[in-house]
Amino acid sequence: MAGGAQVSGSFLTLAEPAGYEEEIKKSRFVCYAARVDEVEETALFLESVKDPTATHNCWAYKIGQEYRFSDDGEPGGTAGQPILRAITGHGLDHVMVVVTRYYGGIKLGAGGLARAYGGVAAECLRRARKFEVVPRVRLQVEIPYVLSAKLYPLLVAAEARVLGESYGSEALVWEVEVPRPRLEELRRSLADASKGKARLQELE
C-alpha cells in the first residue's frame, strides 16, 4: 500500500544502517534498517539485505508522506504495518526497515506475529543512531562595503555558511547557505539593519 506525495522539511532519520536479531518461539527474526531518500533506493536496499532462503522478508518504508509496506506472505496486517508503525512511532522519516523471518516450527498466531515484527523493528530503531536533517537554501547576499562588518554577525546568528565571496564596485557579494527555517529571520534582520540596502536572492 502507498501514501501520497513527499513533503520537504526537517526530519529525524538514521545516521547509519542498523541491525538487530531476536529469537521468538524458535523463529529467528533479523532486522535491517537504513536511511532512504528516494523510492528507487528502497528496492536496492531490499535486494541488498533480503534472504531468498528465508521464510519471509517483510518490510516498510516512509519517505515524507510516501510510504509502502509488505507482509511478503504473512497474514495480512501482521508484518508490514507493524514495521511501519515502529518507524512512525520513533518519529522517523526517510527510513526503510526489513525484517527477515526464519520459521522455527511454532506458529505465533496473528497477534504474536504483529508483536514480533513490530517489536523487533522497534528495538532495532531504538538502538540505532539518529540525527535531524534540516534542509538548507543557497542565497546570494549583496551588502554595501560600509555595512559588511555590521551585517556579517547576522549571518552567523542565522547559522549561515559562507560558500564564497566576490567584490563589486560598491558591494560585497556573499554566496551563503542557511537552514531554511532561518531564511525569513535572516531576510528581515538584514533588511532592518541595512535599511533595505542589503539584497538577498535565492539561488537554484
- Mean pLDDT, the chain, whole residue set: 91
Print the SS3 string covering 79-100: CHHHHHHHHHHCCECCEEEEEE
CA angle, residues 58, 62, 65, in degrees to nearest 5: 140
* Strand ranges of the sheet holding 66-70, from the earlier edge strand across to the other edge: 18-24, 27-35, 95-102, 56-63, 66-70
How far apart are the C-alpha atoms of 48 and 54, rounded to whole Å? 14
- Give residue-wise pLDDT tens across range 74-132: 999 999 999 999 999 999 999 999 999 999 999 999 999 999 999 999 999 999 999 99
All domains in the chain, ordered by first residue: 11-132 (3.30.230.30), 136-202 (3.30.70.240)
Per-residue pLDDT, 179: 87
Phi and psi torsions of 50, nearest 5°: -70, 155
DSSP-based three-state secondary structure for 170: coil
- Give residue-wise pLDDT tens across range 174-199: 998 888 888 888 999 999 999 988 88
Print the SS3 string covering 102-117: ECCCCCCHHHHHHHHH
Provide the 8-state DSSP code for 55. Answer: S
Provide the 8-state DSSP code for 53. Answer: T
- Amino acid present at 188: R
How far apart are the C-alpha atoms of 186 and 169, rounded to whole Å? 24
pTM beyond cutoff 0.85: no
